[in-house]
Structure 1
Amino acid sequence: MRSLERHRDAGAYALGVLDEAEAFRFEDHLMECPRCTAHVTEFGPATRQLMLYRRATPRFVHPLAQPGPRLLDRLLGELVRRRRSRRRRLLYGLAASVVLAVAGPGIVAFAGHAPPAPRVTTATDPQTGVWARVTSTDADWGSDLRLEVRDGSGPHACRLVAVGRDGTEQVVAGWTDPGDGAAPTTAMGTTALHPGQILRYEIRTDEGRRLVTLE
């Protein structure tokens, strides 16, 4: 595959439509191409919107059904609605803070439903010495994930895999680690699994070697 064709696969890889062999070849290219790494990251919001569409689409819809002319309008409308909702929550929070600051401790404030607190999972593998921390935040489409890993076991390409309670596995992030342990590596990812549906996380090399498990 020529380099230009690999660049064109960034969107297909981010949306998960490449087959296993093509994805493997593209990941080899991704380790050496900052441009494609940036493109894959930029496709994150689009991937999330497609997850929302998939969750909202009834199962009886034909798999080859064509999107209607108002699909884009509905998606944009949903984005606007969510942003307005977040803006209102922020304004309510600021207003409550001002009231508390002015009135002092004697006032009782009524708060709405607070967003769920992020879940933090940390582990160190006694054999490999790899330390990792995963912070998961519940979202409408599943989970937003932040990974921090300190790896002194040698240079290799790695993947973060979320293992569901039903046994399903999803690769949610990939990166190349220098393996010198000098500084932690940070990676971001998303998964369709909600935090309560995830049994554990595993960091594996591309060869399948398990570096650390986070229960």
Structure 2
Amino acid sequence: MVAADPAVTAAVLTADDTPAVMAVAEQFGATDPSTGAHATVGLDGTTWGTRVSLQLSRVQGPLTCRPVAVPRAGEQRTVTTWSVPAGGYGAEDGTVRTTGGAALRPGDIDHFEVRVRDGGALLVAVPAHHA
């Protein structure tokens, strides 16, 4: 069972290394009870698909991670990749923030999975729709 956060209709995400701010149309979150990993995913529809923002916390390294957009039908799409160093993220709040995109419309995405790149272990799954 996954604990899901309530969805909101507007949110702002600030990146760690840049003053850039990204507004998102919808935001969804979940915590995996087995791994303890917590993820919040923001979605913003575009003409080319969906701009995706991700915040991930409570993950220990060393790992290389990738969020995957899982559509209602069709092929899964990797959104981006990043590394978790052995000592964790090092940010004050222990959260990594990243952005990417998927060639899928927001309504075509069922959920996101944050997976370890090698071996594909699931860290957390986040529904991309209102319950």
When normalised by structure 2's length, the TM-score is 0.70
The whole-number CA distance in structure 2 between the counterparts of 1:152 and 1:184 is 9
Task: Give the greater-gyration-radius structure (CA).
Answer: 1
* Aligned 1:93-172 pairs, distance under 5 A: 118-172=25-79
- 1:111-160 Cα offsets, whole Å, 9 max, x none, are xxxxxx61101000001000000000010001001110003343200001
CA distance in 1, matches of 2:54, 2:84: 13
- Structure 1 or 2: more strand by fraction: 2
Match of 2:123 in 1: 211
Per-residue deviation, residues 64-122 of structure 1 (Å, max 9, x unmatched): xxxxxxxxxxxxxxxxxxxxxxxxxxxxxxxxxxxxxxxxxxxxxxxxxxxxx611010
Q: Quick one: distance in 2 between partners of 1:154 and 1:177?
A: 5
SS at structure 1 position matched to 2:80: strand
Alignment of 1:59-70 (within 5 A): none
Q: Which residue identity lines up with residue 142 of structure 1 in the other structure?
A: G
* Partner SS for 1:173: coil
* Unmatched 5+ stretches in structure 1: 1-116
Which of 67, 83, 94 matches 1:183? 94
Which amino acid in structure 2 is aligned with residue 203 of structure 1?
V
State the 1:183 CA deviation. 1.4
Whether the 8 Å CA contact 2:60–2:84 is kept in 1: the answer is no
Distance across 2 between alignment mates of 1:166 and 1:196? 11
Aligned length: 99
Letter in 1 for 2:111: R
The one-letter code sitting in structure 2 at the alignment partner of 1:183 is G
**In the alignment, which residue of structure 2 is the partner of 1:194?**
105
Computed over aligned residues only, the root mean square deviation of the Cα atoms, in angstroms, reads: 1.6
The percentage of counterpart residues that share the same residue type is 34
Q: Quick one: higher RCO (CA 8 Å, sep 6+), 1 or 2?
A: 2
